[in-house]
Amino acid sequence: MAILTAYLGLGTNLGERQKNLENAARLLFRTSLEEAVHLRPLRSSSVYETAPWGHTAQPNFLNCVLEVGTDLPPDQLLEHTQGVEREMGREWGIRFGPRIIDVDILFHGSQTIFETDLQIPHLRLHQRAFALVPLAELAPNLTHPVLGATVEAMADKADGKDGVRLWGPPIGFPTADESEPQA
């Protein structure tokens, strides 16, 4: 598979939220730095604080989007992102509930996949300002292959856009000597 650009949405609302985003980035790219697995960091959006979506009786989230280069097929990228979630202690309980980390594949090149465990582009992306606003920072003209709308246009129309507040600068990416997460 050729190297293509993928976008990963990260979210957290438990514990030290900023550190959770940084640790997730270290874990996502740790393998590529140590074992030449095919996932490399390109850019990060700024970090945004957002009200919870779906189940609202929980703390606010920090969200960002990572732009990555990869030649991993979508199913292997999903396995990798879910492995990072498990390693960080993610527990699956209440749907849309609180979490230490969530890593979603928003786009994988221009592919469309609609399987039980994997939907690309992310099935509810067009409804989620918390993902669209940071994604629009990186790729405003990226066009949704099913809906035909740009990310910027979807972000402008998304409910809750006013509740997505800039929180901090883009997260840094690990270097070869930063491959292990910080405690």
Q: What is the pLDDT of residues 125-166, one digit of tens each?
A: 999 999 999 999 999 999 999 999 999 999 999 988 988 999
- Has residue 95 got a pLDDT over 70? no
Rounded mean pLDDT, 23-50: 81
- Has residue 3 got a pLDDT over 90? no
Is residue 151 within 8 Å of 132, Cβ to Cβ? yes
Q: What average pLDDT does the chain have?
A: 87
- Has residue 174 got a pLDDT over 50? yes
Residue 17 annotated as catalytic: no
Catalytic residue among 17, 30, 102, 128: 102
Helix (H, G, I), strand (E, B) or coil at 47: strand
pLDDT for the residue numbered 1: 62
Residue 90 annotated as catalytic: yes
Catalytic residue among 99, 162, 165, 177: 99
Query: What are the strands, taking DSSP E only, across the chain?
Result: 4-12, 39-44, 47-50, 61-70, 102-108, 113-114, 119-120, 164-168
Class of 4-172 in CATH: alpha beta
Is residue 21 within 8 Å of 49, Cβ to Cβ? no
Kindly state the tokens that stand for 41.
Answer: 């960091």
Kindly state the tokens that stand for 156.
Answer: 């402008």
Is residue 44 within 8 Å of 93, Cβ to Cβ? no
- What pTM was computed for the model? 0.90
- Has residue 106 got a pLDDT over 90? yes
Residue 104 annotated as catalytic: yes
Weakest-pLDDT range from 70-74, 154-158, 175-179: 175-179
To the nearest whole percent, how much of the chain has pLDDT over 70?
A: 86
Peptide bond into 145 cis (omega under 30): no
Is residue 43 within 8 Å of 172, Cβ to Cβ? no
Residue 102 annotated as catalytic: yes
